[in-house]
Amino acid sequence: MRPRVDSPAGPGSRHRAYDLPVPGTRTRLSPRAWALPLLVLATAGVLAGCTSGASAAEQSGSIAYVANLANRADPGATVAIVDTATGTSLPHVTTGTLPSALAASPDGSRVLVTDEGQDKVTMLDTSSRSAIASANVGLEPDAVAVAPNGKLALVANLGDNTVTPITLPSLHPGTPIPVGVQPTAIAIAPNGSVALVTNFGDNTVTPISLPALHAGAPIPAGSQPAAVAVTPDSQTALVADFQTSAVTPIALSSLTPSPAIAVDGNATGIAIQARTQTAYVSGGNALTPIDLATMQAGAPLEVGAGATAVALANRGGVAWVCTDNGTVLPINVATGHKGKAVKVGGQPSAIVIPPAARS
């Protein structure tokens, strides 16, 4: 469990006691930045979604991008790159400060990074593995998702309770859409009809109709919803409720929640394996499988460290889990066997494995 360190402003403000200023940037409190063990001062949890909140299904690619949000003394400014086929770390890419979330374009050619410390989104080219453009968005962007047609990205702005639509590939921001309090994760249904935004501060999910970009009435979720994914058939959204260590299913046909599913530890991220119809939920020191046909949780797979995010590789056969000790760890989801952890540094806050780019 990742306890919250409350600020003088009161419980729920998610002040990070180890935040230190960086010249020319704003040091802020991300719900993705958990208190480190030596700073455990309370029992309520802070969140974090690690797959950007997007519907993280297995991909054909093998290169993982990992956002290094921060460490004790130096808020991060890089995205680590890992070759999941060989288990090796590749040169990092410098983006803006406090990179918090990631999303890939459907063709695998681009990765978008939210840079919370500078209120912007950076676009990476996956062929050159370099930053090629950026755009200003709202205050403290904490999540990003890309529509299935690749023409739209949605950015959840934690600090001003909005979602910024961005036209792709021009990276042109549109008019912000008001949502709930402290939006921290966002996912777009595979059929492109709706986006779901988790509002950490008021325990709700805001649906946004697409392409109209109209925000609907908030949907009740569990306490501190921190991540969201949508099933491959676009019928159900799964919401990771951090504080209650549960996942709340939401029927997208009626936008109504179903009874929560208990998972192992404070839920931080969700990835879905379409082939076996299984969702994998990171949280605590484990990865909990959920059978999408029965909505029943299975036996947790041990991670051995705080699991802060998850993405699937090898066509869903291997989960790559961000951990709170600065690594990403491969786990065979069929056997639970753990591979060799890859050091990425910082405090990894999100991971995405784009599909192999098509030429």
pLDDT of residue 268 exceeding 90: yes
- The answer to whether the CB of 262 falls within 8 A of the CB of 245 is yes
**DSSP labels, 95-161:** -SSSEEEEEE-TTSSEEEEEEGGGTEEEEEETTTTEEEEEEE-SSSEEEEEE-TTSSEEEEEETTTT
Token output for 86:
């060989």
Residue 301 host element (H or E): strand 301-302
Q: What is the pLDDT of residues 84-135, one digit of tens each?
A: 999 999 999 999 989 999 999 999 999 999 999 999 999 999 999 999 999 9
Q: What is the pLDDT of residues 299-330, one digit of tens each?
A: 999 999 999 999 999 889 999 999 999 999 99
Q: What is the CATH T-level fold of the domain 56-352, as seen in this structure?
A: Methylamine Dehydrogenase; Chain H (2.130.10)
pLDDT at residue number 356? 82
Q: What are phi and psi of 315, to 5 degrees?
A: 50, 40
pLDDT at residue number 60? 63
Whole-number Å distance between alpha carbons of 221 and 204: 5
Q: Which pLDDT band, with edges at 50, 70 and 90, does 75 fall under?
A: low
pLDDT at residue number 2? 32
pLDDT of residue 194 exceeding 70: yes
Mean pLDDT (the chain) is: 85
- Domain-wise residue ranges, the chain: 56-352
DSSP category for residue 37: G
Counting residues of the chain whose pLDDT is more than 70, the rounded percentage is 81
Q: Which pLDDT band, with edges at 50, 70 and 90, does 185 fall under?
A: very high
Q: What is the pLDDT of residues 3-31, one digit of tens each?
A: 332 222 232 323 232 233 333 344 444 55
pTM: predicted TM-score of the whole model, two decimal places? 0.86
The end-to-end CA distance of the chain, in Å, is: 43
pLDDT of residue 78 exceeding 80: yes
The identity of residue 283, as a single letter, is G
With CA atoms as reference, report the closest residue to 307 among 322, 328, 289, 290: 322
Mean pLDDT of 257-275: 96
pLDDT of residue 1 exceeding 50: no
Token output for 87:
């288990």
Range in 204-213, 295-304, 346-355 the model is least confident about? 346-355
- Bond preceding residue 183 cis, omega within 30 of 0: no
The identity of residue 27, as a single letter, is T
pLDDT of residue 46 exceeding 50: no
pLDDT at residue number 6? 29
